[in-house]
C-alpha cells in the first residue's frame, strides 16, 4: 500500500491525521504541488484526477477521495473507530463530514484559489485548467464566516461534531478551520464553542500530522 501525500497541503492532511489517529505505518510518497508534480505524466498515470491524497492498494486500486480512503482504512483497521460504531453514529459522522466539505472546504478553496497569484489557471484542482473568478473569491470569504457560525452552533451542545465521540468529521473540520487561516479567516472571540473545540483538537497528538 502506498500513500501519495503533499506534506504542505490541507486536503491530504485529512488522510495524514486519520492515519496518525489509527497509529498506522504506511509507505508515503511526497508529491510536490509547488512544482505541479501532480500534473506530470508519472503521477497522472497513478491518479488521473491529479489530486492528493491518493492511496494505492496492493491490488493496484487507487482511492483518491478522503472519505473513501478513510472508509477503507477503517474497514481494515477498525480501532479506534473514526467513522462511528452504529447506524446513527455513522450517519452523524457522514452528516457533519459532508456539511464541512460543502459549507466549509469549498468556501475556503474558492476564496484562496480564485485570488492567489500562484493559482492563476488553477481555480479548481484536477487535470483541467480553470481561470480565476474574483466574485467567487469574495463569496468564499462570506461562506467561511457562515461555516464558522454553523460549527460554533453545533459545538454549543456537542463536545465533538458528530456528538460525544471524536471522528473523521472533526478531522475534516480541523483541516478546514486551519486552511481558512490561509485566507486570514480565524474564529472570532464570540465563537467560543468553536474556539474551545479547536483548542482541544490542537492538543491531540494527530494535530501535527
| Contact residue for its own copies among 2, 90, 196, 204 (CB under 8 A) | 90
Q: How far apart (Å, rounded) are the C-alpha atoms in residues 85 and 39? A: 38
- Supply the angle between the helices 134-154 and 192-202 in degrees, to the nearest 10: 90
Angle at 195 between CA 186 and CA 93, to 5 degrees: 100
Residue 76 makes contact with its own copies by CB under 8 A: yes
- 80 preceded by a cis bond (ω within 30 of 0): yes
CB of 102 to its own copies, least distance (A): 8
Residue 106 makes contact with its own copies by CB under 8 A: yes
Residue 87 makes contact with its own copies by CB under 8 A: yes
Residues facing residue 27 across a β-bridge:
2
Only one of the segments 4-12, 18-26, 56-64, 171-179 lies at the binding site for its own copies (rule: CB under 8 A); that segment is 56-64
Cell of 163: 456528538
Residue 92 makes contact with its own copies by CB under 8 A: yes
Residue 57 makes contact with its own copies by CB under 8 A: yes
> How many C-beta atoms lie closer than 10 Å to residue 62's C-beta?
16
Q: Which is nearer to its own copies, 146 or 192 (CB)?
A: 146
Q: How far apart (Å, rounded) are the C-alpha atoms in residues 193 and 198? A: 9
Only one of the segments 2-10, 22-30, 120-128, 195-203 lies at the binding site for its own copies (rule: CB under 8 A); that segment is 120-128
> How many C-beta atoms lie closer than 10 Å to residue 135's C-beta?
9
Only one of the segments 10-18, 37-45, 60-68, 199-207 lies at the binding site for its own copies (rule: CB under 8 A); that segment is 60-68
Q: How far apart (Å, rounded) are the C-alpha atoms in residues 181 and 202? A: 14
Q: What residues make contact with its own copies under the rule CB under 8 A? A: 49, 57, 61, 63-65, 67-69, 71-72, 74-76, 86-88, 90-92, 94-95, 98-99, 103, 106, 124, 126, 128, 130, 133, 135-136, 139, 142-143, 146
Amino acid at each position: 500500500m502506498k500513500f501519495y501525500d503533499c506534506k504542505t497541503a490541507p486536503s491530504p492532511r485529512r488522510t495524514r491525521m486519520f492515519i496518525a489517529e489509527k497509529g498506522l505505518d504506511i509507505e508515503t510518497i511526497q508529491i510536490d504541488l509547488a512544482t505541479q508534480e501532480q500534473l506530470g505524466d508519472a503521477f497522472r498515470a497513478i491518479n488521473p484526477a491529479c489530486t492528493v491524497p491518493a492511496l494505492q492498494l496492493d491490488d493496484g486500486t487507487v482511492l483518491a477521495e478522503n472519505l473513501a480512503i478513510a472508509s477503507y482504512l477503517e474497514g481494515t483497521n477498525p480501532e479506534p473507530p473514526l467513522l462511528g460504531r452504529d447506524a446513527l453514529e455513522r450517519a452523524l459522522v457522514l452528516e457533519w463530514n459532508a456539511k464541512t466539505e460543502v459549507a466549509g472546504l469549498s468556501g475556503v478553496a474558492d476564496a484562496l484559489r480564485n485570488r492567489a497569484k500562484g493559482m492563476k489557471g488553477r481555480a479548481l484542482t484536477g487535470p483541467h485548467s480553470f481561470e480565476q473568478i474574483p466574485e467567487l473569491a469574495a463569496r468564499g470569504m462570506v461562506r467561511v464566516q457562515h461555516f464558522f457560525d454553523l460549527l460554533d452552533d453545533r459545538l454549543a451542545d456537542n463536545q465533538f461534531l458528530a456528538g460525544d465521540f471524536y471522528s473523521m468529521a472533526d478531522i475534516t473540520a480541523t483541516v478546514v478551520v486551519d486552511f481558512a487561516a490561509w485566507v486570514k479567516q480565524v474564529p472570532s472571540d464570540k465563537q467560543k464553542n468553536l474556539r474551545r473545540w479547536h483548542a482541544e483538537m490542537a492538543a491531540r497528538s494527530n494535530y501535527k500530522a
